[in-house]
Amino acid sequence: MDYTYYLYGDIILFILVIILLVVCVRLSRKNKFITKKAQNDVSAAFYASEQAEKAANERCESQIRNLNDMHAKKIESVQQECARNIESIQQDCAKNIESIRQECVKEKEAIQEKCDKDIENIQNDCNQQIQHIKEDIETRKEILMTMDNKELLTNVMVALDGYAGRLERLENQLTHEQITERISYLFETVNNDINKVTKSLTTRIDEMTDSINSSLNDSDIKRRLDSISEEINQIDHNVLDTKQVAKEARDEAVNAKDAAENAEIEAESAKEAAESAKDEAWWAKCAADNAKDAAESAKDAAESAKDAAESAKDEAGDARCAAESARDEASSARSAAESAESAADSVRYSVGS
């Protein structure tokens, strides 16, 4: 009976040891699985937060580039339009000035030609009168040769008086002062005509200048430039807002990263607790193999190991909760990135409108 009692005791102790080993192995595997899952969740949350931050930064940079390109294109189009308008006005001015200059040249040539003709006519008249006087003198000379001295003297005196009168009249007509006065009058007329043409040209140029200035003042170039400046300021404010949203999303991603690292640390501590529980179970097995009297202590150790396993399980649950919170924070970071994208879309819509 005593041996049977000891045999039953050994069998019960062996069964307890086997059950303890199975429980320890299962707890170790479960702790490894929970730890690995927590690490995977933490890695996934960290990767998702990094991807969300990267996507938000790329969207912000792309929107900033698009806004800068739109701004540059608008400024370039306005500058090209202004250059085309100025070039067209300059071409019209050059054409009008060239036309007026040609008209002035033609009028000046006509006046010069008229003056030359008048001077030539005066010279012809003078030459004709001189030739007529020469012929008259020759005729008178022939007549005088047929007269006697007394009659010749009388006729000479009469002729000299007549010639004196005619020469006086001719001198009055051909005097240098009269010719100078005539030429001065002609040049004065020419100068007056040139002054009239010059005044007309100046008046027309002034009118064209006033028209150009009024057209430049009446155009909406300044208003469009002011509008573009306002749009640029609005774009700058929107870019700053987008950068602020991206910064907030980046901060949230960094916080999620820190939470994930904390969850990983907690998972490591849970793993260490599971390892310590495994060590305690091994020492319990050694104690059960060494002495039968240590069965109760082994049982107590098994209970303590079970409690440690439960605490490890609880810590693993806490690690899972931390991983879930990290996943939630990553989701919030993704939502912040999407809100940043929607804000950028609203900025693009406002700029496009």
Q: Would you state the pLDDT for residue 221?
A: 55
Indicate the burial class of 348 (C-beta count within 10 angstroms; 0-12, 13-18, 19 or more).
middle
Distance CA 181, CA 148 (A): 46
Distance CA 332, CA 257 (A): 12
Q: Which tokens belong to 320?
A: 């899972």
User: Residue written as tokens 């040891």?
Assistant: 17
Indicate the burial class of 231 (C-beta count within 10 angstroms; 0-12, 13-18, 19 or more).
middle
Distance CA 280, CA 29 (A): 16
Q: Would you state the pLDDT for residue 291?
A: 47
Name the amino acid, one letter, at 293: D
Pairs from 160-163 (Cβ < 8 Å, separation ≥ 24): 163/137
> Please, what are the averages of pLDDT over each run of 10 residues along the chain (353 residues)?
63 81 78 71 73 78 80 79 78 77 76 75 74 72 63 64 65 59 65 64 65 56 62 62 62 62 62 58 58 54 57 64 65 66 62 56
Q: Global pTM?
A: 0.32
- How many residues in the chain? 353
Q: Hey, where are the domains in the chain?
A: 2-352
3-state SS of the chain is CHHHHHHHHHHHHHHHHHHHHHHHHHHHHHHHHHHHHHHHHHHHHHHHHHHHHHHHHHHHHHHHHHHHHHHHHHHHHHHHHHHHHHHHHHHHHHHHHHHHHHHHHHHHHHHHHHHHHHHHHHHHHHHHHHHHHHHHHHHHHHHHHCCCHHHHHHHHHHHHHHHHHHHHHHHHHHCHHHHHHHHHHHHHHHHHHHHHHHHHHHHHHHHHHHHHHHHHHHCCHHHHHHHHHHHHHHHHHHHHHHHHHHHHHHHHHHHHHHHHHHHHHHHHHHHHHHHHHHHHHHHHHHHHHHCCCCHHHHHHHHHHHHHHHHHHHHHHHHHHHHHHHHHHHHHHHHHHHHHHHHHHHHHHHHHHC
Distance CA 303, CA 169 (A): 162
Chain centroid, CA 44 distance in Å: 40
Residue 234 near residue 350, CB atoms below 8 Å? yes
Distance CA 100, CA 120 (A): 30
Q: Would you state the pLDDT for residue 215?
A: 56
Enumerate residues 6+ apart whose C-beta is below 8 A from 46: 256, 257, 260, 326, 330
Q: Would you state the pLDDT for residue 1?
A: 45
Q: Would you state the pLDDT for residue 119?
A: 72
Nearest to 21 by CA among 292, 305, 232: 305
Q: Would you state the pLDDT for residue 323?
A: 58
Nearest to 298 by CA among 20, 10, 5, 26: 20
**In degrees to the nearest 10, what's the CA dihedral of 162, 167, 170, 175?**
-150
Q: Which tokens belong to 80?
A: 């090209």
Distance CA 140, CA 156 (A): 9
Distance CA 148, CA 126 (A): 34
